[in-house]
């Protein structure tokens, strides 16, 4: 079996594109945080609208990336090494984002911890 690094299918390349957007959005979030000199431990849109929006966009892109990567791996049987790496990273960020959004929705609905 020949080891592939770059995905060959269109779905795999689409997952690679979304992973690039995901990483770029994460870098932009870090840049916005350092430029605004944000010292908040857990930033949210109420404290810094631009930074909070960038962070939420990063988590949404992570979920989209994980969806496309899983589709490329499971349905189209693309077995590139890069797709496995992207699946682990975007899967972790998707899970973290799901917890973040879930707790935010509970707070908005009035539940306290």
pLDDT, tens only, 52-65: 889 889 999 999 99
Number of Cβ within 10 Å of residue 26's Cβ equals 18
Using alpha carbons, select from 113, 112, 58 the residue that is nearest to residue 90. 58
pLDDT, tens only, 63-110: 999 999 999 999 999 999 999 999 999 999 999 988 888 887 888 888
Residue 23 CA to residue 20 CA, distance in Å, equals 5
The greatest distance separating any two alpha carbons of the chain, rounded to the nearest whole angstrom, comes to 55
pLDDT, tens only, 1-53: 688 999 999 999 999 999 999 999 999 988 988 887 766 666 555 677 888 88
Enter the DSSP assignment of 9: S
- Say what the pLDDT of residue 26 is: 94
CB 43 within 8 A of CB 51: yes
């Amino acid at each position: 079996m020949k080891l592939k690094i770059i995905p060959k299918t269109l779905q795999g390349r689409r997952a690679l594109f979304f992973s690039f957007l995901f990483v770029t959005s994460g870098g932009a979030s870090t840049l916005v945080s350092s430029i605004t000199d944000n010292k908040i431990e857990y930033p949210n849109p109420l404290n810094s609208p631009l930074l909070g929006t960038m962070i939420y966009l990063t988590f949404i892109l992570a979920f989209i990336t994980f969806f496309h990567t899983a589709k490329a791996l499971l349905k189209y049987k693309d077995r590139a090494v890069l797709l496995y790496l992207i699946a682990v990273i975007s899967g972790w960020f998707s899970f973290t984002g799901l917890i973040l959004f879930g707790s935010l929705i509970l707070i908005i609905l009035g539940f306290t911890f």
